[in-house]
Structures are given as C-alpha cells and as structure tokens.
C-alpha cells in the first residue's frame, strides 16, 4: 500500500528539516504508482501530484514528525481536498415537488439508488416521496422500480410504455403536486456505453422537468472508465452531484478521486450494498484513508510508538496480556510516549472511528493535556501510583496542590485513568496494538 511504500522512503528523508523537491522526489513517485494502482485516472493523478508537491515543498517538518510522516499527511489532506472535503446533502429547497433526476449508464445502479434515496428521504428527512420510471424501453426496469417502491413504502407513479419519457414525467409531476408529494425521484434509461441518443433523451428530459438535483450514478468498480463516463455526462447535463455505487466491492477507491475531479461536482452518496438501506453519505476523508490504507497508517503509528520506547511498550503489552492491572505508572509511561509522538495528533484526528472514542481519551491521545496529566501523576507517591484505589479525597487534594492544579483536575485524570484501565482490560492480549485497531471503529 501507499503508506508502506512511503515508510520505505522515510529513512532516506530523516534528518532533514524541510521537505524539498529533491528529497520528496522518490516518495512522490511512490504516491503516483499507488494512485494509479488505486485506478485513479492519469490526468487526475498528475494534477494531484502537482498539488501535493506545491503544498509539501518548503514545508517545515515538525520535530515530532519524521519527514515521511509529514509527507503522508500532505498526501492525505490533498486527496481529501480533491474529493471535496465535506459531506454534501441534497438540496431540496424548491417549491414541491422537488424533482431528482438520475442519470448514468445501464447497470450503474440507478434504479437501486432510487429505492435507497426514497427510503433515505422518507426515513431521515421525513419527506413524502414518489418515484417514477422513464425507462420506457425495458418493461422489466419499470417493474423493478415498482417492486422497490413497495419494499420501501413510497408512492409509485405507473408509466405507460407507449409514452415519451417527458410526457410520463410531466404527468408524474402533476400527480405529485396534487397529492402533496415533497420529492419526486425520476429513474431513467441507460445504455451500455455513452451514445448520442441517450444523451439527447436525458437532456430533453432535464429541460422538460427542471430538476432540483441531477445526480450522476456511477459504478465505482469501473475505476478509470468512471472518469470518462463522468466527463461525458458532465458535459451534457448540469449535474448537481454524484452517487458512487458498489463501493462495497471496490477496495481501491480511485473512482471517487477521478469522478469528483473530472465533474467538479460533489459525491453526495455512496452505495454500500444491494439493499435499500445500503446508502451512506460520502465522507472524503474516509476514502482518502482507504487509498492510503489506514491499517498501514496505524502500523506506522505503532512503529513510531515503539521507536519512542520499545521496551516500555513491550512491557506494557506483556503486562496487559498477562491480565495484570494497568496502574498509574503505566498510564504515565503511555502519556509520555504520546507526548513524544505529539506531532502525530494531526494524523490521529483524522483516524476513522475517532468519533466513538470518549473526548477525554481523545485529548490524551492528541496530546493537548498530556504535560499536565504527567505532572499530576508525578505528584503522587510510588505507592499511590501502583495502587490508585488509595487516592481518597485528602490525598487528591495534596496531589492537586503539589502539581499546581485543582482537585477537579485530579478527579478528571482519575476518570481518564479508569477509562484507560477498562479499555486495557478489554483488550487483553491485544495490548496497545489492539487499542490502535479498536480506533478503526
Ligand atoms: P441501473 O441499470 O443503473 O438501474 O442499475 P440497477 O439499479 O438495476 O443495478 C444494477 C445491479 O447493481 C443490481 O444487481 C444491483 O443490485 C447492483 N447494485 C446497485 N448498487 C449497488 C451497491 O451499492 N452495492 C452492490 N453490491 N450492488 C449494487
Ligand atoms: Mg434501471
């Protein structure tokens, strides 16, 4: 993976204070190969490399980061930026019914996504939804949509096979208005490849219904082809967003980068299964992690941690594995290691799953509170550190004044200790490694 490749070049980069065009050349070559392997389209790879170079060159490397880590962070940030940084919801602020038009090749997942979106809008946004099919060429496609509508319990507008798509959709809009429908989702026909007839048809349909959202649906497994198709649709239609389907079968994640870059339109949703609830809001940072391979970022974190103090980490892991109690000495060791890894907080912030970790634990990990916590533990006696149960009110008061903090700060530390202890207990044999893994969420 990319992170593995980059850590290979770390050694050579070590000891230089700044990233320069010279010292990152080799690493950038690795980034390029990794992006191509993730099936990102070539022009997108080139543009991205350029952006990474501009951002990285001249950047000072924080003391606590190795240059390789600093570069990985730039790569990750730029990949996230290319994909649009933020999650984007549907814009339905128009007079009802808001029309959503689905466009894309046959097999991309349009009809399935209509069902998923209908369910999403009904359940999450409390909308009254109707669906209609303009796929007049394949009666089976209309029946497929009808079945899905029943399954997710939304209104289905029947299409007559001998009508033109525009006529069908106009009639559906009339009906939706009369029955106070909030959102009308229009499924369309797709061909196996981009052709003029299909583009002309969907353009005409778009002109006739003036949709609030025009979503381009694309199969993520088509990789680089996704970019080509996206370009064609983006030129023919004023797209408002993209739905990337079948991400459950795509380990590479390159289509997300390509499609976003080529269309300039936000990816709003991703398909994560065939089922009606298999639709997720798109999070660019998660896809960036996937391409970088978070598992390897985590092993990098472990690597750094071991560099900081291999012995202590091993001892702790052994201790936890043997089921021995995690005491305040262990906590101090960990805190000190985290302090030394302080620069990793930038990476840690962005780890998927960080949302599930209690804020107090997160603060320890990101190092902001660490020096104060260490000072508090230092004000305890050896005996207290080994046996935290001793710490009653008066001892806590003494420790607080010794460390120059309030008793509330000491109480907070003890809470954090208890959380860590619980976590360690749960991890058992997994030790620190397991804790890092647990953060993947
Ligand atoms: P359409 O021709 O664009 O309407 O495509 P369909 O909606 O009929 O989907 C084509 C196939 O892709 C069907 O077998 C769907 O079940 C499958 N599919 C669609 N979206 C997803 C997804 O997100 N994950 C998986 N695994 N399959 C999907
Ligand atoms: Mg279909």
pLDDT bracket for residue 387 (50, 70, 90): very high
Ligand 1 center–CA 273 separation, angstroms: 8
| 381 belongs to an annotated ligand binding site | no
Rounded to the nearest integer, the mean pLDDT of the chain is 79
| 112 belongs to an annotated ligand binding site | no
Ligand of minimum distance to the alpha carbon of 220 = 1
Ligand of minimum distance to the alpha carbon of 138 = 2
Ligand 1 center–CA 147 separation, angstroms: 14
Q: What residues does CATH 3.40.50.300 cover in the chain?
A: 98-288
User: What is the token pair recorded at 82?
Assistant: 């290319």
| 187 belongs to an annotated ligand binding site | yes
Prediction ipTM score: 0.99
Check whether the bond before 329 is cis (ω within 30° of 0): no
Ligand 2 center–CA 168 separation, angstroms: 16
Please determine, for residue 349, whether its predicted confidence score (pLDDT) is greater than 50: no
Q: What is the pLDDT of residues 110-161, one digit of tens each?
A: 999 999 999 999 999 999 999 999 988 888 889 999 999 999 999 999 988 7
Residue 441's CB is within 10 A of a number of other CB atoms, namely 11
Q: What is the pLDDT of residues 172-193, one digit of tens each?
A: 999 999 999 999 999 998 887 7
Ligand 2 center–CA 277 separation, angstroms: 17
What residues line ligand 1, using a CB cutoff of 6 Å? 104, 106-112, 190, 245-246, 248-249, 271-274, 278
Closest ligand 1 atom number to CA of residue 278: 23
In CATH, the number for domain 98-288 is: 3.40.50.300
Q: What residues does CATH 1.20.120.140 cover in the chain?
A: 2-82
pLDDT value, residue 78 = 86
pLDDT > 90: what percent of the chain?
A: 35
Q: Does domain 293-438 have CATH number 1.10.260.30?
A: yes
Ligand 1 center–CA 105 separation, angstroms: 11
Q: What residues does CATH 1.10.260.30 cover in the chain?
A: 293-438
Ligand of minimum distance to the alpha carbon of 139 = 2
Closest ligand 1 atom number to CA of residue 279: 23
Domain topology for 2-82: 1.20.120
Length of the chain: 441
């Amino acid at each position: 993976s990319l992170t593995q490749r980059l850590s290979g070049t770390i050694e050579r980069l070590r000891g230089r204070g700044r990233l320069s065009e010279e010292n990152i050349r080799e690493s950038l070559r690795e980034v390029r190969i990794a992006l191509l392997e993730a099936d990102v389209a070539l022009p997108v790879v080139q543009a991205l490399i350029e952006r990474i170079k501009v951002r990285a060159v001249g950047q000072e490397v924080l003391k606590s980061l190795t240059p390789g880590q600093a570069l990985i962070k730039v790569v990750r940030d730029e990949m996230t930026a290319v994909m649009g940084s933020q999650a984007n919801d549907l814009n339905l602020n128009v007079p009802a019914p808001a029309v959503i038009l689905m466009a894309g090749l046959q097999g991309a997942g349009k009809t399935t996504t209509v069902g998923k979106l209908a369910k999403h809008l009904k359940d999450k946004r409390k909308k009254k939804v109707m669906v209609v099919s303009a796929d007049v060429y394949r009666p089976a496609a209309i029946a497929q949509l009808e079945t899905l509508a029943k399954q997710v319990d939304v209104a289905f507008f029947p299409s007559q096979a001998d009508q033109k798509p525009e006529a069908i959709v106009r009639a559906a809009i009339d009906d939706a208005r009369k029955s106070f429908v909030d959102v009308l989702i229009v499924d369309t026909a797709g061909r196996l490849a981009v052709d003029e007839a299909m583009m002309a048809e969907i353009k005409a349909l778009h002109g006739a219904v003036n949709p609030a959202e025009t979503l381009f649906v694309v199969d993520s497994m088509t990789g680089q082809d996704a970019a080509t198709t996206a370009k064609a649709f983006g030129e023919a239609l004023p797209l408002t967003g993209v739905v990337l389907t079948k991400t459950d079968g795509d380990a590479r994640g390159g289509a997300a980068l390509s499609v976003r870059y080529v269309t300039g339109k936000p990816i709003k949703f991703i398909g994560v299964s065939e089922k009606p609830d298999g639709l997720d809001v798109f999070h660019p940072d998660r896809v960036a992690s996937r391409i970088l391979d978070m598992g390897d970022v985590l092993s990098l974190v472990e690597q750094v941690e071991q560099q900081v103090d291999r012995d202590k980490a091993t001892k702790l892991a052994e201790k936890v594995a043997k089921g021995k109690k995690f005491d305040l000495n262990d906590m101090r060791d960990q805190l000190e290691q985290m302090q030394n890894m302080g620069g990793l907080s930038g990476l840690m912030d962005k780890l998927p799953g960080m949302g599930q970790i209690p804020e107090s634990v997160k603060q320890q990990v990101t190092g902001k509170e660490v020096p104060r916590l260490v000072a508090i533990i230092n004000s305890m006696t050896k005996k207290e550190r080994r046996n935290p149960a001793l710490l009653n009110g008066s001892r806590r008061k003494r420790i607080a004044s010794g460390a120059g903090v309030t008793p509330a700060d000491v109480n907070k530390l003890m809470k954090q200790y208890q959380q860590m202890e619980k976590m360690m207990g749960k991890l058992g044999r997994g030790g620190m490694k397991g804790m890092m893994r647990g953060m993947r969420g």
